[in-house]
Each structure stands twice: as structure tokens, then as C-alpha cells.
Amino acid sequence: MTNFIANNAQHYQLVATRPIAALELLAQQTGLSKQQLKDAAQKGALWITRHKKAERLRRVKTELKAEQQLDLYYNPAVLQQSCPAATLISDQHDYSLWCKPRGMLSQGSKWGDFSALYRWVEMHYQPDGNNRQCWLVHRLDRATCGLQLLAHNKKTAQKLTALFEHNQVKKQYQAWVHGKLQKPHQSIATPIDNKKAVTHIQSLQYLDDLNISLLDITIEQGRKHQIRKHLASIHHPIVGDRLHGSADLDKKLNAQLIDRDQLKDPNFAVDLQLTAYKISFICPIEKKGVTYQLEQNSMDFYPFSMTD
């Protein structure tokens, strides 16, 4: 057994020397209880190598062959995380559309996937009394709220993925940013990671007392953090963007809100104010265009305007 430890997170690498149930091997070698091991496996922290490829193993009663390898990525802090609930927008049987809340992952990591949207749906959404397998076809940042598609069979997953790959899905976002835009309509075409990236923005509202603007945003490509990087590049970072934003501007705004709204938490900080609120594409089942849109009160923005 190989055991790597870092910050209370442990990676156990085990190789079966004879046919044995995965749970028995893990219990013998890790010192963890069988209940802890079952919980970790269900939450996506256990991996098995088959045909030189690692895949998650959730059934700990699986019989291992001699020389078969298990990898357990055990991090109590990750496994004990609470997971916000997603909201179903539409169920088309072969695919479904969800509103992913801020704080929920789109995909898991080697340490687990139970807090990712696709796994959360598999575990909690059972319209016919059975779990429905999910395929991820696109992603939203953890801090972003909004519409996300999931496929429920491989064929539909391939069709939806192809739509995204060929830029045949139109996604629209809204975001609160710092400052007032000089032009109400503009486009940003700065390459990201040496790849073409175009973002179109329209100013919808400006709050003079807080010096923030509400924008409507469309993107042509969908590079990683494209909207966040592009808005920061024109000196209008998204409110609450701890990665690409302005800590000084956020600190000033948070102080204003604490005072204005009489918030009791002196460490209050607004989360990332970016929501994917609208999506349009050709339905792979009906072969016709469909559009889904969140209502304004479902966008999970902080009520900056006193009329919100």
C-alpha cells in the first residue's frame, strides 16, 4: 500500500494480491471504518483501474482481481461539505435543465463528486422512483448561478456536446459590475489563452450610490472564465469576483452595504454576481429551437437596488 498525506487529506493506493472484495481490502489497509469507506465511495472518492483507465467505484462489494488497483482519495473536509440544492427547470426525459446554485460544482474531482450538479441529480432526482444517470455536456463556474443542461443517455449527450462544440448554443448572462460603462453597447475581443474569444455586453441599469452597473452579456466562444476576464480587462470587474475582480472595490461596496442594509455580520462579502439566465438551442429530440429563461427573482442577485 502507498499512502500520501497532506493537510489531513490522504491518498491510499492499494493493489490486490488475490481476489478480494474492495471493501475488505480497504478496511484491512486504511484503518477506516466500513461505514466511512462506504460513504466515501458513494461520494465519489474511490477509484478503480480497469484496462489502464481509472474510473469511480461506488459499489464497495465489487470483487477485485489479483493485481487490480484501487485509489482512495480521502479528505474529511471535502466529504463533510454541505451541498446546496439545484432547481429543476425542465425535464425532457433524454435531457433536463437545472438552475445550478452558487457554490455547487459542475463536475467533481478525484476527492469526490457528490457536491457536483450531475451527481446531485443522480442522488436526489427520482421522478419514476429510480436514479437517472447523468452526462455533463457543459460547465458553469462554482461561484456562478444559472442554467445548466444534463443529458440522461450517451446518444443525447453526444448531440448536446456537439451543439456546444460548434457554437450552436446561445447563452446569455447578467452580471453586476463595478463602475459605469461609457458605452451602453460594446464588444470585447481580447484572445484568451491565445484563442479567439468575443463577449458582447449591454448596460441595463446603473446605481449611482453604489457605483455599480447591471449588464446583459452574450459570448460567442465560452473560454474558461471568459466573461470574468473580459470585464476585468475593461476595468469593470464583476462584483464579488475573488479571482479576477478588485478586492479594493469589493471591500468598499461591502462596507456600504453593511451600513445601508444594517447587516450584523462585519465580515459580510457579496458573492460573485454572475448568472447564466437564458439558453437557446436546437432540441436534439424535437429538432426545433427552444429557449429557457430564468425569472428575475430566480437569478440570486444581491438586492442592490432598494426597489428589488
- The torsion of the CA quartet 87, 286, 218, 209, rounded to 10 degrees, works out to -40
pLDDT given for residue 127 in this prediction: 86
- Using DSSP's 3-state secondary structure scheme, residue 218 falls into strand
Q: Are residues 226 and 153 in the same domain?
A: no
pLDDT given for residue 25 in this prediction: 96
pLDDT band for position 2 (cuts 50, 70, 90): low
Q: Are residues 92 and 152 in the same domain?
A: yes
In a domain, 131, yes or no: yes
Q: Which helix (H) or strand (E) holds 29?
A: helix 22-30
Q: Are residues 269 and 189 in the same domain?
A: yes
pLDDT given for residue 5 in this prediction: 60
pLDDT given for residue 267 in this prediction: 93
Angle at CA 39, nearest 5°, toward 35 and 41? 115
Residue 76: other Cβ atoms inside 10 A: 12
Residue 105: other Cβ atoms inside 10 A: 22
pLDDT given for residue 221 in this prediction: 83
- 8: CATH: 3.10.290.10
Taking the C-alpha atoms of residue 302 and residue 119, their distance in angstroms, rounded to an integer, is: 28
In a domain, 35, yes or no: yes
Q: Are residues 115 and 209 in the same domain?
A: no
180: pLDDT strictly greater than 70: yes
Taking the C-alpha atoms of residue 127 and residue 243, their distance in angstroms, rounded to an integer, is: 38
pLDDT given for residue 298 in this prediction: 86
**pLDDT digit string (tens) for 186-238?**
999 999 999 999 999 999 999 999 999 999 999 988 888 999 999 999 999 99
In a domain, 219, yes or no: yes
Q: Which domain holds residue 65?
A: 2-79
Taking the C-alpha atoms of residue 150 and residue 162, their distance in angstroms, rounded to an integer, is: 14
User: Number of structural domains, the chain?
Assistant: 3
pLDDT band for position 136 (cuts 50, 70, 90): very high
Q: Which residue do the cell numbers 484568451 mark?
A: 192
- Distance, C-alpha 298 to centroid of its chain: 17
Q: Are residues 192 and 269 in the same domain?
A: yes
129: pLDDT strictly greater than 90: no
275: pLDDT strictly greater than 90: yes
301: pLDDT strictly greater than 90: yes
Taking the C-alpha atoms of residue 282 and residue 198, their distance in angstroms, rounded to an integer, is: 22
Where among 145, 166, 187 does a domain terminate?
Answer: 166
pLDDT band for position 3 (cuts 50, 70, 90): low
Q: Are residues 161 and 175 in the same domain?
A: no
In a domain, 260, yes or no: yes
Please give the mean pLDDT across all residues of the chain: 94
- 189: CATH: 3.30.2350.10
Contact 57, 70 (CB under 8 A): yes
pLDDT given for residue 306 in this prediction: 62
In a domain, 306, yes or no: no
Q: Are residues 153 and 199 in the same domain?
A: no
Q: Are residues 114 and 139 in the same domain?
A: yes
Where among 116, 133, 166 does a domain terminate?
Answer: 166
**Which triple of cell numbers denotes residue 114?**
457528490
Q: Which of 90-99, 146-155, 293-302 has the lowest mean pLDDT?
A: 293-302
**pLDDT digit string (tens) for 19-64?**
999 999 999 999 999 999 999 999 999 999 998 899 999 999 999 9
168: pLDDT strictly greater than 60: yes
Q: Are residues 104 and 71 in the same domain?
A: no
Q: Are residues 121 and 211 in the same domain?
A: no
Instruction: Calculate mean pLDDT across residues 279-307.
Output: 91
In a domain, 297, yes or no: no
Distances, alpha carbon 44 to alpha carbons 61, 74, 114, in Å: 15, 10, 6
Where among 166, 192, 218 does a domain terminate?
Answer: 166
Q: Are residues 226 and 206 in the same domain?
A: yes
Q: Are residues 152 and 179 in the same domain?
A: no
308: pLDDT strictly greater than 60: no
In a domain, 295, yes or no: no
Distances, alpha carbon 248 to alpha carbons 68, 164, 208, 219, in Å: 53, 36, 18, 27
In a domain, 122, yes or no: yes
